[in-house]
Chains A and B, each alone.
Chain A
Amino acid sequence: MKALVIHCHPRPGSFNAAIRDLVLAKLTAAGAEVRLRDLYAEGFQPVLTPDEWSGYLDSPANRAPVERHCADVQWCDTLIFVYPTWWYGLPAMLKGWLDRVLLPDVAFLMPDATSKIIRPGLQHITRLGVFTTCGASWWLTRLIGAPGRRQLVRGVGLLCAPRHTRVFAAHYLMDTSTPASRSRHLARVAARMDRLIGRRIAVPLPQQMETT
């Protein structure tokens, strides 16, 4: 099992970091090879540049500016995102990772003579995990249509193996969360990770007091 974990939160001590640590502990205990990319920590630049746009279809040169990230994506069979939901969607930092890294001939194949439609290119990915926190309630998020969740679970999910395992967990109403609700959420994340991995892995839940 080769797991790529994409983490995106500006604060090192955030609740999202606790979720990430739990995800990493599960993966490590399951014997997986793990690559963690912390986009804020590495100062990832999320803006697709004019040159990148002009050369977007020109593979393999298009991957040069983000070669390491493309290599990660092609290496992994398990892809996991940990991030806060802002404006019902992904933080710009994470959205930019999708824009710049999920390129033609990396994540999908553009229409050509043999096919009129965009075809998936991440069929080596058999496990997709999405873990987030939302300020809004479950009801409001659903009413808006859960755009962030859909971008990853469906948008990226459509590119992965047809019968991949996918798990999702969100802590809603984050601004009124309590230590108890956060602990419950960590237990939920632990259970989802077990389902993603395919068996029960016993690890202690991280201690955390931060609220965001």
Chain B
Amino acid sequence: MARALILFAHPCEESFSSILHRTVLDGLQQRGWEVDDCDLYAEGFNPVLSAAERRGYHDTATNTAPVADHVARLQAAQGLVMVFPVWNYGYPAILKGYFDRVFLPGVSFKLDNGKVSPALKNFTKVAVVTTYGGTRFKSFLAGDPPRTLIKRTLRGLTWPAPLDFMALYDMNNVGDSERRAFQARVAQRMAAF
């Protein structure tokens, strides 16, 4: 059975992000994926790259040691689904730290004589489910950093896996019906994941 890794980052159970997380989890299981549900807050993930990790960052023989478990989980999966809210035009810090500490040289990319090549060849499907406080237009004015990060960096690292980016903007003003519609869209995409 194919494995899917969910990366979820939200502190509170009562949040809309948690509902989306549950929707993704149910959808993947019904689709027949064996799911590794990584809830970064619940697992108490430490996002701070330490001085020792910074010093050893490029030593691919030893750099994975502090996060070996997360690296193994990332490499064991064929599907990847990220669920998180956008805060301040970016990932929540706990998720940003996952990239800083787990997406290491030799894990997510390879450096050979200064040339970078993608290394997450294990993924066949990637999806991102997120919510923004800002409107699409205002996020566009700010350059929409999460969208570009996902669509350019993550897509590059997991190339050629198809990537599905689902975002609900303007969370502070949309009503129940928009939230339900978005949740239904996520459920539908997961049913076909």
Contact = CB atoms under 8 A, between A and B. Distances in A.
A88 interface: yes
30 contacts: A10-B51, A10-B53, A10-B54, A46-B47, A50-B41, A53-B12, A54-B12, A54-B14, A87-B96, A89-B90, A89-B145, A92-B97, A93-B47, A95-B92, A98-B87, A99-B92, A99-B93, A111-B173, A118-B133, A118-B172, A145-B149, A147-B143, A148-B145, A150-B145, A151-B90, A155-B89, A156-B88, A158-B138, A158-B142, A175-B114
Given A50-B41, A91-B49, A145-B152, A154 B55 contact: no
Chain B residues touching A, majority SS: loop
Interface string A56-100: 000000000000000000000000000000111111110110110
B154 to A, nearest CB: 10
A68 B56 CA distance: 33
B79 interface: no
A40 B41 CA distance: 21
A93 B71 CA distance: 21
Interface string B44-87: 00011111011100000000000000000000000000000001
Contacts of B138: 117, 158
Smallest CB-CB A-B distances: 8 pairs: A96-B93, A92-B97, A145-B148, A147-B145, A150-B143, A92-B47, A10-B51, A46-B93
Interface in A21-56: 40, 46-50, 52-54
Contact of A87 (B14, B41, B99, B135): B99
B50 A93 contact: no
Given A176-B114, A212-B54, A95 B142 contact: no
B118 to A, nearest CB: 13
Contacts of A98: 87-88, 90
A54 B44 CA distance: 18
A48 B49 contact: no
A146 interface: yes
A156 to B, nearest CB: 8
A11 B15 CA distance: 37
Interface string B153-180: 1000000000000000000110000000
Contact of B93 (A87, A93, A146, A147): A93
Contacts of A113: none
Contacts of A90: 90, 96
Nearest to A48: B11
Contact of A151 (B12, B49, B88): B88
A148 to B, nearest CB: 8
Contacts of B90: 89-90, 95, 98, 147, 151, 155
Given A89-B149, A91-B49, A98-B87, A50 B143 contact: no
